[in-house]
Structure 1
């Protein structure tokens, strides 16, 4: 902990087999981190070339296992966020010969399976989105349909949906799609966000410029590293110690209100989790 405060990394990945895994969690905890939202790695990174929605279960269950291990290393808690990486559509269409509608159906089936874990209480939230790079119109439409399926489950299950999507400061249209599905738009979380975003709740990358913008803006936000735990890219995207270190920097620069916003108020508002009550205080 840092001054008896919860410190939450809203989006990172842990490799259960091939890289640092729990050692990354220990690094996070050693510098004051207390809570983690762990997003499953892309299915192909874990050697899964899905043919059916059920094939994603291996990915989801390995993620749940390492999250349980992670929680035991923290003074707070850890939760799985499960879903289908939107970049899968490119692998399906370009590499495996799927047409966009077939890819859409498979990815929606994977989202359906992820929703079962949220419904059972084994996972906290869903992950979806659309490519952050240029794609054909039919692939874009299929990707948006997958994302809308996640919003339908978010409404039904009263859970958040984290989005991997293009860089933008205005995603009100996407937030409106969630609202149209019956899901509160503030429960849509834009992962890898800058400090300013209209529509979804931004999960702000923990670099100083983005965080200063978010803190000065005064709107709800979260903090993340998007640590990918990849043996070929050590420390990418940001290392697991980054969020606690940036919390200290924010506090040193007078942003106590923003720190509470990002690590207590917004997690409760978006995910329904109480990061203070789940702390083990001496």
Structure 2
């Protein structure tokens, strides 16, 4: 039997590795504590296979993530959706380890995004992920990464889908919001993964630490909640576990932040992704797999 928190509960960014990680056991932990909906983001491609050298080598990674989201949906009162793309850290793998130039690496990453966009166009994925390294890189790598991000925004505009971003830590990413607008994309559909409590520009997907969540709740602006659960058996304590978002929702409700919970789990998902977490929620918690 799963706990019913009286609201949809969405983790906006977590990873599932059904072969090496906890996979569906992590989904069951999330659901048992009251979690109802998941955005399942593909792990970096080199964690689920070789470092890609051809755009088609991204496809098995995306297929694995789509299947994991489908299996997760069968265990949730709500459902799971995949978000697919190319982790910005790939540029360093290609340049530092594989001998690519920055331009060559950027071209391969843009081609990988083209493959991910096919899944969105076919209705098999909800949105795209992209971004730029959060660590120091050369000017050439930074320029190549920015070009990859702009390419993701072009797809986001054409497909009318959200784009999740990995970026440097910042509370001001108005430059990226401007790039999205230039590409014809609504910048509110750009989501900053691993965000702090406030953010200028994209919509923040806030890491579910209490202090960050209080800042987001009291700001009164659209936001999402996430764990960035990595599902890596070699790093069991890395980032946050799958039980965290439902636990934090329970805490927010106890602290009187009902409006913020509705913002993060109903209103912002609808505005950013076009998903209805209420309409997709089964009314009977016992309908879910124990």
State the Cα distance separating 1:3 from its structure 2 match: 3.4
Instruction: Give 1:2 shift.
Output: 3.5
**For 1:49, what is the secondary structure of its paired residue?**
coil
TM-score, normalization: structure 2?
Answer: 0.96
Q: Which residue of 2 aligns with 1:30?
A: 32
The 5 Å alignment of 1:26-105 reads 26-105=28-107
Aligned residue number for residue 160 of structure 1: 162
* Greater relative contact order, per chain length (Cα 8 Å cut-off, separation 6+): 2
1:112-139 CA-to-partner distances (Å, cap 9, x unmatched) read: 0000000000000000000000000000
- Superposition pairs for residues 103-182 of structure 1, below 5 Å? 103-182=105-184
Residue 235 of structure 1: how far off its partner (Å)? 3.5
TM-score where L is the length of structure 1: 0.99
**1:151-180 Cα distance to aligned partner (Å, 9 max, x none):** 000000000000000000000010000000
Tell me, in whole angstroms, the C-alpha distance in 2 between the residues paired with 1:155 and 1:235: 37
Give the 3-state SS of the residue equivalent to 1:273 in structure 2: coil
* Contact residue 48 and residue 59 of structure 1 kept, 8 A: no
Task: Provide Cα deviations, 1:88-117, integer angstroms capped at 9, x if missing partner.
Answer: 000000000000000000000000000000
Q: Spell out, residue by residue over 1:41-79, the C-alpha distance to the aligned partner (whole angstroms, 9 max, x if none).
A: 000001222111111001000111111100000000000
Taking the aligned partners of 2:113 and 2:247, their CA distance within structure 1 comes to 34
Q: Find the counterpart in structure 1 of residue 280 from structure 2.
A: 278
Quick one: which of 207, 220, 230 aligns to 2:222? 220
Residue 190 of structure 1 is matched in structure 2 by 192
C-alpha distance in structure 1 between counterparts of 2:238 and 2:36, whole Å? 21
Q: Does the aligned pair in 1 maintain the 2:5–2:250 contact within 8 Å?
A: no
1-side partners of 2:250 and 2:5: how far apart?
Answer: 9
2:129 and 2:164 in contact (8 A); partners too: yes
1:205-231, Cα deviation, whole Å (9 max, x unpaired): 000000000000000000000000010
Q: What residue in structure 1 maps to residue 287 of structure 2?
A: none
Structure 2 unaligned spans of 5+ = 285-290
Gaps of 5+ in 1: none
